A and B are shown apart, each in its own frame.
Chain A
């Protein structure tokens, strides 16, 4: 059996006495679309931070394609094909869309240390960036400064930056947070187009989106994995209904 694209073994993270992630064993098969759901404060974003390398775990390990990457930094995991988006936009306010995407593309192509020729003169970089922007249907904003764009557009750039590094494994931390339902549908449709071969781990609140998009769902409660199964079975799982869906209605 081939190793899962992404795997954690006994992953724990404690902030002082507060345990945010508790012995999580997660296996995400290559090519799957795996959603992690859970109530607020369940430790979903902490999990993404641990997977992407922003946080070091208190104990436990993270593996990409069976290789232990626990000690690797974020940028090194990106080089191994693991990229993430952020729940709260982390963009480059004063750059144009094309510039920031081109920058991300250049980094993936390993050109980030080139210091002599202008970025704009790297044809392959610029073409790829332009294609990506067009594919995400934000071409009209290509030359606008990021800070001047509407929030929905910015959210797409957040994803564009991640896609620019052509990830094999993509961690999406609530990609549709804060944008209207109709737009989020489109967003997910685009995502599906772009990442047919990509392994995706998705954190999402919108259950409709999750059930439509994901093929596996894990439920995280209090930092620990409660259930992992197909969307349909998770939806009907009594425990899940109680802790998650029940709570969600109050949110």
Chain B
């Protein structure tokens, strides 16, 4: 173990962060745990974009303190790795705050360390409801799957849709989405006529889509993680002519993730989705945010809800640190985070004082062409939506 490990140590000295300054100049150290490699590497870049933009707008400081970012790569769902990295960030890098956290399992694992080390963790994406319940040192600025699925059900019911078929990817978030949708939809008087969970690595949707077509529901609600699955599903749905057969397609915003929408193509046109952020959200703040983030991210990355959450996470931390007067004590920061309310590029958001979870507006959008590019155009909204998973 000796030699190789020494190389590791040497690298830390060379590339690590030196802790020089003290007193008021002592930096806020933020450990960002996210996917920087592998299929989900964009998530890490999105976070970086949001964080960098906020810091750029604030001279690289939070509440007057300089900021140091330590990035750690935990690609995909890798809780054991995430946990180890969190431990290292505490023991070695001595960070004051955890941030990032794209995948729920990783957030659960890091939440446990946060609790043990009394270091706040700001969840910038992971959307499983129980993350904030499990650890008192977690605050979330992103969303929960239930939070965006539930309004879709209510909206559908409002349109007079009675019979819905649900299709979700067969993993935790998929099941959460299915449950939340069903609960809200049935409560609003609708019926779920069929539901199916599809394997995560699923090359061919034809059988599922055929089945839906044969069932003839009024609408089909689907939830897939953003990436290859939504376009594959939409293509098959278009090929089989679901819309022509009078079956409406509704989904959560993952299906039309801003950063993948161009690649998804015209099959997404007309799709109704529910989510908390669209890059074409009508507000001055968003216009400025999106333009600046786009400039920062470069050509091949469209800033999405990941970047917004990262940006808001930094804003929340900034506000909290102002409240503590720059005190970096974990418990004090957590106290300060509770009940924060401020204007985000996505609209007004707040961190619930009780649950430390996000409360925000969820929008109903339709995929349309705006200036020649596909975009999620908001046309209806549900204000101050809480996570329905919380009591």
A and B touch in the complex (CB under 8 A): no
| Chain A residues engaging chain B, CB cutoff 8 angstroms | none
| Chain B residues engaging chain A, CB cutoff 8 angstroms | none
